[in-house]
Structure 1
Amino acid sequence: MIYSLGSINADHVYRLLHLPTPGETLAADTCTRMLGGKGANQSIAAVRAGACVVHIGALGPDGNWMRDALADAGVDVTHVTEAGTASGHAIVMVDASGENTIVIHPGANRALNPSQIEVALRDARPGDWLLMQNETNCQGEAARIARSQGLQVAYSAAPFDMDAVRAVMPFVSLLILNAVEDAQLLQEMSVVDVPMRLVTRGAKGAEWVDEKSGKAVFVPAFRVPAIETTGAGDCFAGYAVAGLATGFAPAQALRRASAAAALQVQRPGASEAIPTAAEVDAFLNAHD
């Protein structure tokens, strides 16, 4: 079982010929609204990878359609509560090459409280996983509660915030960062005191490091034509943690996550572009 403490956003996606420069006004070619947020993306990725996922989060009165979308994707939304503020939302600008710029308003994602998390984790068992990232509050409290109950804690340190990382670090089992975040972390901390670290390097692949033994596993990225990179890191993280939670070795979990991300970037959108386990299996069979 994976408990996913994470953001739920309404993504307003604008497609443009190029990303605007300072002071520039551009007309978008298209505009769409869809379910997003790092937490929602990771939850859906983990479900599509084959894991059972309980999402812990909050929405405003305007967020019923997002709760329904999560439920339709197979995510347990019992512990998605309603807050007295607007739902989180993001403005996503995507250029013709698939690169993006994102502005996020946290909204209800920052309205969580520790008691909600205690209730959500009441039925969790040792060996279950808590998956988190930095778009909500209460990460430190959630990690502490989870570890006290024997859960593994996977933490995507994005968007990167050193204070948040320090608060969570004592409880983390698996720290997930991209290459930029990893460099920021190593600038601040000479020793990364976590059992496992997973660093994603985009088109260069991903590396798993067992910090205690020093053993590392490197998985190359699949070469594919990218349409859009939005949510690819969340797809990778959700698939990787789902693989570990269902018993895959790190090398196998990372390879499946790499294949899932390769399929994701060939499609427009974020959560709706995340592939199913069957699609990932077919892709891997074709590339063996």
Structure 2
Amino acid sequence: MLNFGSINVDHVYTVEHFVRPGETIGCRKYRRFAGGKGLNQSIALAQAGACVYHAGKVGAADAWLKTLMEDKGVDTGFVQTIDGPSGHAIIQVNAEGENAIIIVGGANQLISEAEVQGIVADFGPDDYLLVQNEVNAVPQIIQSAKAKGLTIAFNPAPMNAQVLNYPLELVDILIVNETEAQALTGESEPDSIGETLNRRFPQTAVVLTLGDKGAAYFSPQARFYQPAKKVHAVDTTGAGDTFIGFFLAELIETNNPAAALQWATRAAALCVTRHGAADSIPSRRELEAIQ
């Protein structure tokens, strides 16, 4: 599995209220976390037992992010360290728990088409590609991978208008949440979302995450739902990334989307009982121990 994805640093500032124009305030607490959907999904894939190669870029000052991925079992041989800043987020969290976020693309937006082609050249028809929408060159990544015969999974997060112009007809597995699906289809009901996307992209399987309601799978050959396990959620950060990693890892291993959906919903349910993003992702061994 090749994951072409973002590598971010999240800077989180706990404040009484969001800073106003012209105002300077102190923060009550500062925390730094590993972040980025790409990093989270690579760690989830590795934690689920998949062999995953991460491709992307990170600033030299944040080499600890690369080390973190390696410690979690991710191969970072295709991660390039650059002199500029990493992708990062500046996050204010106020007394009511609301957040205000500034995203800086940084190194995530510096991937060249030549670099894409050079990395994808090492993979072939037996391999999978995963890509999200936090790096640049997504159309080129999809097109290059398709030309090499890879099975392509795409998670269009964060969703924006550019996604509508991507070569989505080349995607084999489209993984979306309800908000992303509605932006793509104009529909809000799961069945209507699945029918619309299957009609528009008849070669594409659609995986729709439904939060605490579970998830659904739609393809021309099959359609099924997987309810979520009821848990006490303390932090939903990283749940979607955990789901994607475990779904794809199980699908690669068994070619059974129903089993993959079940594993993914179980992993996401365990994830939300913990704080953090990368730190909250469970291992396959943990899931097996609580069957």
- In 2: Cα distance, 1:89 partner to 1:263 partner: 26
1:246 match: secondary structure: helix
- In 2: Cα distance, 1:166 partner to 1:129 partner: 22
Corresponding residue to 2:270 among 263, 268, 273: 263
Could you tell me whether the CA contact under 8 Å between 2:18 and 2:100 is conserved in 1?
no
- In 2: Cα distance, 1:120 partner to 1:272 partner: 28
The one-letter code of the counterpart of 1:136 is: V
Corresponding residue to 2:216 among 183, 201, 207: 207
Normalising by structure 1, what TM-score? Answer: 0.88
2:124 aligned residue: 125
2:6 aligned residue: 7
Could you tell me whether the CA contact under 8 Å between 2:214 and 2:226 is conserved in 1?
yes
2:61 match: secondary structure: coil
2:168 aligned residue: 169
- Residues 114-161 of structure 1: CA deviation (Å, up to 9, x unaligned): 221222222212121100100001111111111111111000011002
- In 1: Cα distance, 2:247 partner to 2:214 partner: 13
CA-CA distance at 1:202 after TM superposition: 0.5
- In 2: Cα distance, 1:166 partner to 1:49 partner: 32
Task: Return closer, same or farther for 1:196/1:263 CA change in 2, 3 Å cut-off.
Answer: same
CA-CA distance at 1:26 after TM superposition: 8.2
The one-letter code of the counterpart of 2:122 is: D
Which residues of 2 match residues 59-98 of structure 1 at below 5 A? 59-93=58-92
Task: Return closer, same or farther for 1:256/1:29 CA change in 2, 3 Å cut-off.
Answer: farther
- Residues 1-20 of structure 1: CA deviation (Å, up to 9, x unaligned): x1000000011234578x85
CA-CA distance at 1:221 after TM superposition: 1.1
Could you tell me whether the CA contact under 8 Å between 2:18 and 2:94 is conserved in 1?
no
- In 1: Cα distance, 2:173 partner to 2:163 partner: 15
1:244 aligned residue: 251
Could you tell me whether the CA contact under 8 Å between 2:120 and 2:145 is conserved in 1?
yes
- In 1: Cα distance, 2:259 partner to 2:243 partner: 13
Task: Return closer, same or farther for 1:182/1:281 CA change in 2, 3 Å cut-off.
Answer: same
2:207 aligned residue: 198
CA-CA distance at 1:277 after TM superposition: 0.4
2:141 aligned residue: 142
Could you tell me whether the CA contact under 8 Å between 1:98 and 1:227 is conserved in 2?
no
The one-letter code of the counterpart of 1:231 is: G
- In 2: Cα distance, 1:101 partner to 1:270 partner: 17
2:129 match: secondary structure: strand
- Gapped runs of 5+ residues in structure 1? none
**1:115 and 2:145 correspond:** no
- In 2: Cα distance, 1:97 partner to 1:203 partner: 22
CA-CA distance at 1:22 after TM superposition: 7.9
1:82 match: secondary structure: strand
2:167 match: secondary structure: helix
- Residues 82-104 of structure 1: CA deviation (Å, up to 9, x unaligned): 23421001134567898765432
- Residues 247-285 of structure 1: CA deviation (Å, up to 9, x unaligned): 2411111111111111111111101110000112223x1
Could you tell me whether the CA contact under 8 Å between 2:63 and 2:81 is conserved in 1?
no
- In 2: Cα distance, 1:192 partner to 1:156 partner: 17
Could you tell me whether the CA contact under 8 Å between 1:157 and 1:165 is conserved in 2?
no
Could you tell me whether the CA contact under 8 Å between 1:100 and 1:229 is conserved in 2?
no
- Residues 47-73 of structure 1: CA deviation (Å, up to 9, x unaligned): 000000000100122221111111111
Task: Return closer, same or farther for 1:97/1:154 CA change in 2, 3 Å cut-off.
Answer: farther
Could you tell me whether the CA contact under 8 Å between 1:4 and 1:43 is conserved in 2?
yes
Normalising by structure 2, what TM-score? Answer: 0.87
